[in-house]
């Protein structure tokens, strides 16, 4: 394997999949036909989504010729006019009683708040900035942070009307889970929202607790093992929108750390996942390796690691009044002592994150939260998209494991950075791939993994070692 960094602008895709992929049931050709064909996952991809077949190629922006440049451009350039998406925000509140009463379904559902941003067509009158601002100020809860552009809280009646409009059709619903500090402020997230919404799909973004200007109301932060907020929303939407004879489909799309959480959700649920499929983009599979990767590169040490640490410490500081209720972990005295000492996310996780999940060290937390060790427990169709020049995570992807895994299709490319992949025309490459993937599932008679016959495939996980 070459130790030289990848660079250039002509990008090539490399595909990995099992030779015996799961067989997906196609919808009947006619309404009265009882015959139902099947198609393997790898053939489904090769015939519907040619952008990610082995050897597919396309050109990136020539002056963004390394993963570091791609990534820096993605998070510094102004894409607001390119992807003018509007969002309706809803607060999801988990009460103390709910967290206790639902223990049989959600093992780690903590009380508190997180938010959802639904992609919406803006009412015509709200295209007038003055009218939008008036409604924005009317609906902003007292004491809550200001929101990003083109996003406002919806009233209960407005939200009910929006959900009722979704009930009138059978379009797929896609739930996007952003990365560590992500949300609708990120161009890659808005680009995907824009593409899917333009094609008539229903889309929403799940904001982690305290992220994207959400408010933390209880002393709990999210971690790589935090999947119950995601599971809560998937179950809620499945029960509300999917309990019909039309098999409405539900997809999850995770970026970076959000993709890691989705992978861990799939691992915990096995074949009982309520998702039709999932997509992860630039997500780590081995957190220990990824921490080593970012801490041993110049771009990691001087650019990306300081940004991650700044976000993590700021999140603790901004929510200290609430977090201090769990003073054993989040005392203000401890924070003031550590804020100048913590220079890496490894040090942050060793002081804070591992204690949140009851583990003795950050390194042990990384082992527990890494999907790689439990990848064979995934039994939901999964598309993995990564680049080999990602400056933020380990690029030692699970190539051999995926070749043995009938439920997974992985597309890696030589170039693209950290969920960037900016083409020569300035558009992101992957939103078209995601849209084609989700739209193609309409041809399949699948709502959940139980609709797919995997011939009893299983790789038992030994626990006696």
Active-site annotation, residues: 256, 390, 418
Tokens of 174: 């896609």
Helical packing angle, 187-198 and 430-440, nearest 10°: 40
199: left (phi over 0), alpha (psi -120 to 50) or beta: alpha
CB 284 within 8 A of CB 290: yes
For residue 423, list its beta bridge partners.
Answer: 60
**Cα–Cα dist 283/235, whole Å:** 23
Count of alpha carbons within 13 angstroms of residue 382, beta-carbon side:
31
Q: How far apart are CA 156 and CA 161, in angstroms?
A: 9
CA distance 57 to 299: 27
Give the other-Cβ count within 10 Å of 328's Cβ. 8
CB 15 within 8 A of CB 54: yes
- For the residues of 42-109, what is the DSSP string, one character each? HHHHHHH-GGGSTT-EEEBPTT--SHHHHHHHHHHS--TTTS--EEEEEEEEE-HHHHHHTTTT-TT-
Q: Are 375 and 349 in contact (CB under 8 A)?
A: no
Question: Cα separation of 64 and 373, whole Å?
Answer: 34
Give the span between the Cα atoms of 458 and 132, in whole angstroms. Answer: 53
């Amino acid at each position: 394997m070459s130790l030289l960094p990848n660079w250039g602008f002509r990008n090539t895709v490399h595909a990995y999949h099992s030779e015996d992929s799961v067989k997906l049931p196609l919808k009947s050709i006619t309404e009265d036909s009882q015959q139902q064909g099947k198609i393997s996952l790898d053939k489904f991809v090769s015939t519907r989504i040619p952008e990610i077949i082995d050897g597919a190629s396309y050109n990136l922006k020539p002056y963004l010729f390394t993963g570091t440049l791609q990534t820096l451009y993605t998070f510094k350039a102004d894409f607001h006019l390119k992807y003018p998406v509007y969002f309706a925000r809803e607060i999801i509140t988990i009460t103390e009683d709910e967290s206790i009463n639902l223990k049989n379904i959600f093992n780690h559902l903590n009380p508190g708040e997180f938010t959802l941003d639904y992609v919406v067509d803006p009412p015509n009158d709200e295209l007038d900035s003055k009218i939008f601002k008036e409604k924005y100020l009317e609906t902003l809860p007292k004491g809550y942070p200001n929101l990003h552009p083109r996003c406002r809280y919806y009233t209960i009646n407005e939200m009910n009307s929006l959900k009722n409009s979704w009930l009138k059709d059978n379009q797929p619903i896609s739930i996007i889970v952003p990365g560590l500090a992500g949300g609708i402020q990120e161009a890659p997230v808005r680009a995907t929202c824009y593409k899917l919404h333009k094609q008539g799909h229903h889309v929403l973004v799940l904001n982690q607790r305290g992220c994207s200007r959400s408010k933390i109301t209880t002393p709990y932060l999210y971690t790589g093992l935090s999947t119950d907020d995601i599971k809560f929303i998937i179950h809620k939407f499945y029960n509300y929108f999917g309990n019909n004879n039309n098999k409405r489909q539900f997809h999850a799309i995770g970026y970076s750390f959000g993709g890691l959480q989705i992978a861990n959700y799939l691992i915990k649920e096995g074949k009982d996942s309520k998702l039709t499929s999932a997509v992860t983009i630039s997500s780590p599979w081995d957190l220990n390796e990824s921490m080593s990767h970012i801490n041993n590169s110049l771009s990691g040490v001087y650019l990306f690691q300081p940004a991650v640490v700044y976000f993590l410490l700021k999140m603790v500081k901004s929510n200290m009044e609430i977090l201090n209720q769990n003073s054993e972990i989040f005392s203000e005295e401890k924070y003031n002592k550590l804020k100048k000492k913590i220079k890496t996310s490894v040090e942050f996780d060793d002081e804070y994150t591992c204690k949140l999940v009851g583990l003795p060290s950050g390194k042990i937390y990384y082992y527990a939260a890494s999907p790689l060790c439990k990848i064979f427990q995934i039994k939901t169709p999964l598309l993995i998209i990564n680049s080999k020049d990602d400056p933020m995570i380990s690029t030692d992807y699970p190539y051999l494991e995926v070749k043995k895994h009938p439920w997974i299709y992985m597309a890696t490319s030589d170039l693209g950075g950290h969920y960037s992949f900016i083409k020569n025309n300035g558009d992101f490459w992957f939103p078209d791939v995601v849209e084609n993937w989700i739209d193609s599932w309409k041809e399949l008679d699948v709502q959940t993994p139980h609709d797919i016959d995997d011939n009893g495939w299983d790789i038992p996980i030994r626990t006696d070692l």
